[in-house]
């Protein structure tokens, strides 16, 4: 085994014995296991992979694919039926929100207790406590029983505590689904810090955005076996295909050309090379730019000036009900604008297109955000039932630099759209 | 069963390694029981005091019971109480053992946790209560004028009972995970054992034909020995040493059994 391999899983199999009646377990034990009273359920079959230092690995799959069983085996909570798991380093696991927290005790008491669970002494926890409290941002609730917490506060405290226990292997199972965008951003910053220290992060999530964004690699589990392991975008792509019929799957993986061909967006000055991209590629985005005052790709946008976001896409197969989306978020992850063509155009004629058609989509908006850097995400999807099926989503593909209008800027109509009045109030008000 | 599980020094080091965590769990358990009560933690003192007061009234005033073959020294109700201190440590530990692991499925399934220390917690809590009971005993003895220097041996004499309680707890906690009925069976078993142990009477009061059985009951030996120091009589050290040896074996076997079966816990819970 190489020294930089942190987790090594070999031919891992987990079979649960299911007893229909608790007495059956005793009967079987009394016969020394010669007579079988149980049924078997195999949750994992012959799973093998290695995770090296500094990797963040996403684990995706449908419900019941064996994700949680795999994590529990890696943590040593479950015993493997066959095969081996080797994990070198201190494992901090967030398998269930607030497991090990006692609702009757205060946040502070629970933090110290969590520390004790991981083998930290009181003195070591004293050092960490302020950091935990600052990160969790729950203020005076720290001294209140945990049962009075909202689920958001709960997850903040649990995550904050876990992150301050200096994990070498961090295992997170769906725990980040709660918590607002700002907090999630903070968490992922910490996760990235773990990775930079040479630690390993294992992330189970149903949020493909998180997987695509933060993982170096993804493992797709299906029916207890590894269906795919490799690039996150590819894993997500195959995962999404699992929800369609076999014919669609073939089409999705087979006929469609690679993303990178004909991509002009990459050469734009506003392009963000750290974008993440995924979808089934039935349509792809070829190019995009921001336009303000008739200038394409200006070095910065001026606050309060009408802006156009244009993007060109091509349909590779006949498409019905196309939906184009736009989202703008701040560097800290707060969404400031999110909309799509279905919402803006209303329930009119669906955007139906033949294979080979190129489309140009323009969103018009007036940025009234605080000056600073923003990340623009664009996407082409199709309406499927109540949800959207992603063809090509490009997260954080464009960097938008917003500036306050200077007195000598022309065309600035910020003062027309936003106004302030300061008048003296009658004496009776404000007492 | 792995041979390493049968090594007593390993058990000690294993428990010692997690002493802080065990301490925290015991503290939590004790505090949680009294949290929210008007008198709070005072109940830890108040409830044995009330019990002793009732004993003093019933056996001292109403029945005017005397300990067999005893003319002077502490009154009956105090001797009864001293036996109960020992027995209660055992009883409290063992009756709570079946739920000690079963009651914390999230510790077994959701976090990385040294599960084998869970059955140690009820013993620790019982010892906390036992310590307060002992303080009350000392105070009461001083009050009735029967305080004896031998009394310092009392805590030491409990050692076999602690080992026995711990060993049985490991067995019962493991069974309790698979068999829910254990939580119902154990209190009945413990109640039965109370009457079969010389808590309310000395072994000398048992018919001679049955007496050998009592000599093999480690619980009885310890109760007798601890009562002897209260009265100021000599202790049967050879019987006590035998009890200690037996209890040591029970605890080691209990630990080994627990470690052997814990692999199945997560599947069963």
CB within 8 A of A308, min separation 6: which ones? A290, A291, A292, A362, A363, A364
Residues A380-419 have pLDDT tens digits of 888 877 677 888 888 888 988 888 877 665 555 555 555 6
Partner residues linked to A302 by β-bridges: A403
* Residues in B 161-190 with any Cβ partner in A closer than 8 A: 178-180
Tell me the C-alpha distance between A209 and A216, whole Å. Answer: 13
Q: Where in chain A is the domain with CATH 3.40.50.300?
A: 5-236
Contacts of B24 in chain A (CB under 8 A): 112-113, 116
Closest partner CB to B106 (pick from A79, A96, A104): A96
Q: What is the mean pLDDT of residues A329-340?
A: 79
* A117 Cβ under 8 Å from any chain B Cβ: yes
Burial A282-304 (b: 16+ CB within 10 A, else e): bbbbbbbbbbbeeeeebeebbbb
DSSP reduced 3-state for A186: helix
DSSP secondary structure letters along A213-246: HH-SEEEEEETTEEEEEE-HHHHHHHHHHHTS-H
Query: What average pLDDT does the segment B178-201 reach?
Result: 87
CATH superfamily placement of domain A259-403: abc- transporter (atp binding component) like domain (2.70.50.60)
Q: Please compute the mean of the pLDDT values over residues A157-165 and round it to a whole number.
A: 86
CB contact under 8 A, B111 and A117: yes
Establish if A99 touches chain B: CB-CB under 8 angstroms. yes
The chain B residue lying nearest A123, using CA atoms, is B20
Mean per-residue pLDDT over chain A, rounded:
80
Is A104 close to B35, i.e. CB distance below 8 A? Answer: yes
pLDDT at res. A248: 41
A116 interfacial to chain B (CB closer than 8 Å): yes
Lowest mean pLDDT across B64-78, B89-103, B194-208: B64-78
Q: Within the 6-35 window of chain A, which residues sit less than 8 Å (CB to CB) from chain B?
A: 16-17, 22, 25-26
Q: Packing angle between helix A151-163 and helix A181-196, nearest 10 degrees?
A: 10
Q: What is the pLDDT, as a whole number, of residue B165?
A: 93
Residue A9 has pLDDT above 50, yes or no: yes
- Look at B111 and A78 and tell me if their CB atoms are within 8 Å: no
Q: What is the pLDDT of residue A244?
A: 53
- The residue of B1, B108, B112, B182 whose CB has the most chain A CBs within 10 angstroms, and thus the best one to mutate to test that interface, is B112
Distance CA A223, CA A64 (A): 7
Residue tagged 């891992």 (tokens) = A12
C-alpha–C-alpha distance, residues B34 and A133, integer Å = 27
Average of per-residue pLDDT across A8-23 = 83
Q: pLDDT band for position B253 (50/70/90)?
A: very high
User: What does the pLDDT read at residue A120?
Assistant: 84
DSSP state string for A373-404: EEEEEEEEEEEETTEEEEEEEEEEEEEEEEEP
Burial class (CB in 10 A: 0-12, 13-18, 19+), B253: middle
User: What is residue B159's predicted lDDT score, i.e. its pLDDT?
Assistant: 92
Fold for A5-236, please state it.
Rossmann fold (3.40.50)
Give, in degrees to the nearest 5, the angle at Cα B249 between B243 and B250. 85
- The answer to which of A85-89, A126-130, A212-216, A251-255 has the lowest mean pLDDT is A251-255
CA of B31, closest CA in chain A: separation in Å?
Answer: 10
Per-residue confidence band for A177, with pLDDT thresholds at 50, 70 and 90: low
Does B146 have pLDDT greater than 70? yes
Vertex B171: Cα angle to B99 and B198 (nearest 5): 90
Question: Which position has the higher pLDDT, A49 or A411?
Answer: A49
Checking if the pLDDT of B239 tops 60, the result is yes
A162: phi then psi, degrees, rounded to nearest 5: -60, -40
How far, CA to CA in Å, does A294 sit from each of A290, A308, A311, A381, A403? 10, 9, 15, 28, 17
Using DSSP's 3-state secondary structure scheme, residue B118 falls into coil
Identify any residues that bridge with A24 across adjacent strands, giving them in sequence order: none
The answer to whether B266 contacts chain A (CB < 8 Å) is yes
- Tell me which residue of B236, B227, B211, B243 sits closest to B80, measured CA to CA: B227
Name chain A contacts of B111, Cβ cutoff 8 Å: 77, 93, 95, 99-100, 117
Q: How many CA atoms lie within 13 A of B190 on its CB side?
A: 23
Residues of A in contact with B112 (CB under 8 A): 75-77, 91, 93, 117
Nearest to B228 by CA among B55, B133, B86, B54: B86
Is it the case that residue A255 has pLDDT exceeding 70? no
Sequence-ordered list of residues with C-beta below 8 angstroms from that of B51, at least 6 positions apart, any chain: B81
Of B225 and A18, the structure prediction assigns the larger pLDDT to: B225
pLDDT value of position A427: 66
* Beta carbons of B111 and A93 less than 8 Å apart: yes
pLDDT attached to residue A253: 38
Q: How far apart are CA B218 and CA B207, in angstroms?
A: 19
Per-residue pLDDT at A196? 85
Q: Which residue has the higher pLDDT, B93 or A345?
A: B93
More confident residue, A335 or B160: B160
pLDDT of residue A87: 86
Mean pLDDT of B191-215: 85
Q: Is residue A211 a contact partner of residue A203, using CB atoms and an 8 Å limit? A: yes
Nearest CB among B32, B266, B267 relative to A104 is that of: B32
What does the pLDDT read at residue B71?
63
Tokens read off for B267: 């599947």
Contact A392, A260 (CB under 8 A): no
Q: Is B260 on the interface with A (CB under 8 A)?
A: no
Q: Tokens 């699992």 appear where? A: A242
**pLDDT of residue B137 exceeding 50:** yes
What is the residue-averaged pLDDT of chain B? 85
Span B75-123, pLDDT tens digits: 888 888 888 999 999 999 999 999 888 888 888 888 878 888 899 999 9
Tell me what pLDDT residue B70 has: 66
Over range A219-233, report the average pLDDT.
86
Instruction: Specify the domain boundaries for CATH 2.70.50.60 within chain A.
Output: 259-403
């Amino acid at each position: 085994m190489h020294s930089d391999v942190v987790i090594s899983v070999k031919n891992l199999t987990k079979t649960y014995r299911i007893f229909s009646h608790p007495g059956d377990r005793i009967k079987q034990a009394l016969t020394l296991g010669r007579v079988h009273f149980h049924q078997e359920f195999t949750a994992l079959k012959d799973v093998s992979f290695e995770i090296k230092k500094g990797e963040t690995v996403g684990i995706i799959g449908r419900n019941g694919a064996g994700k949680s069983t795999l994590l529990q085996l890696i943590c040593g909570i479950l015993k493997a039926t066959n095969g081996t798991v080797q994990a070198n380093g201190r494992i901090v696991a967030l398998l269930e929100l607030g497991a090990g927290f006692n609702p009757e005790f205060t946040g502070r008491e629970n933090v110290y207790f969590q520390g004790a669970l991981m083998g930290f002494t009181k003195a070591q926890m004293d050092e960490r406590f302020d950091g935990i409290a600052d990160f969790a941002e729950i203020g005076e609730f720290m001294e209140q029983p945990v049962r009075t917490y909202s689920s958001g506060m709960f997850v903040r405290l649990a995550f904050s505590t876990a992150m301050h226990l200096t994990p070498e292997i961090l295992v997170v199972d769906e725990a980040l689904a709660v918590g607002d965008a700002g907090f999630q951003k903070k968490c992922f910053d910490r996760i990235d810090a773990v990775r930079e220290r040479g630690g390993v992060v294992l992330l189970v999530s149903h949020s493909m955005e998180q997987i695509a964004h933060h993982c170096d690699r993804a493992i797709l589990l299906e029916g207890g076996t590894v269906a795919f392991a490799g690039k996150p975008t590819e894993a997500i792509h195959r995962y999404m295909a699992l929800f369609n019929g076999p014919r669609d799957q073939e089409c999705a993986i087979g006929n469609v050309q690679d993303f990178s061909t004909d991509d002009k967006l990459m050469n734009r000055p506003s392009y963000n090379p750290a974008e993440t991209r995924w979808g089934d590629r039935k349509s792809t985005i070829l190019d995009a730019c921001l336009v303000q005052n008739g200038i394409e790709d200006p070095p910065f946008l001026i606050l309060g000036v009408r802006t156009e976001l244009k993007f060109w896409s091509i349909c590779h197969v006949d498409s019905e009900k196309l939906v184009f989306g736009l989202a703008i978020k701040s560097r800290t992850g707060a969404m400031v604008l999110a909309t799509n063509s279905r919402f803006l155009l209303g329930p009119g004629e669906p955007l139906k297109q033949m294979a080979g058609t190129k489309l140009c989509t323009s969103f018009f908006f007036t940025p009234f955000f605080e000056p600073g850097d923003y990340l623009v995400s664009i996407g082409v999807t199709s309406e499927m039932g109540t949800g959207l099926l992603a063809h090509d989503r490009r997260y954080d593909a464009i960097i938008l630099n917003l500036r306050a209008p200077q007195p000598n800027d022309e065309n600035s109509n910020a003062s027309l759209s936003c106004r302030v009045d300061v008048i003296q109030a009658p004496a009776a008000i404000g007492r | 069963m792995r041979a390493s599980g049968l090594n007593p020094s390993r058990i000690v080091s294993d428990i010692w390694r997690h002493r802080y965590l065990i301490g925290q769990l015991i503290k939590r358990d004790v505090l949680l029981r009294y949290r929210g009560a008007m008198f709070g933690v005072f109940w830890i003192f108040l409830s044995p005091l009330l019990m002793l007061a009732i004993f003093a009234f019933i056996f001292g005033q109403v029945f005017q019971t005397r300990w067999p073959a005893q003319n002077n020294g502490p009154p009956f109700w105090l001797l009864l109480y001293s036996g109960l201190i020992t027995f209660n440590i055992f009883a409290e530990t063992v009756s709570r053992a079946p739920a000690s692991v079963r009651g914390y499925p999230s510790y077994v399934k959701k976090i990385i946790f040294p599960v084998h220390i869970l059955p140690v917690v009820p013993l620790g809590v019982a010892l906390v209560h036992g310590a307060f009971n002992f303080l009350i005993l000392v105070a009461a003895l001083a009050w009735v004028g029967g305080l004896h220097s031998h009394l310092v041996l009392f805590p030491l004499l409990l050692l076999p009972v602690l080992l026995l309680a711990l060993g049985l707890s490991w067995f019962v906690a493991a069974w309790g995970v698979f068999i829910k009925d254990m939580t119902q069976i154990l209190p009945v078993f413990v109640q039965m054992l109370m009457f079969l142990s010389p808590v309310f009477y000395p072994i000398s009061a048992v018919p001679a034909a049955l007496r050998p059985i009592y000599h093999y009951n480690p619980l009885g030996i310890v109760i007798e020995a601890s009562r002897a120091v209260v009265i100021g009589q000599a202790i049967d050290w050879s019987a006590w040493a035998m009890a200690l040896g037996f209890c040591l074996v029970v605890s080691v076997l209990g630990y080994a059994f627990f470690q052997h079966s814990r692999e199945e816990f997560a599947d069963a819970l």
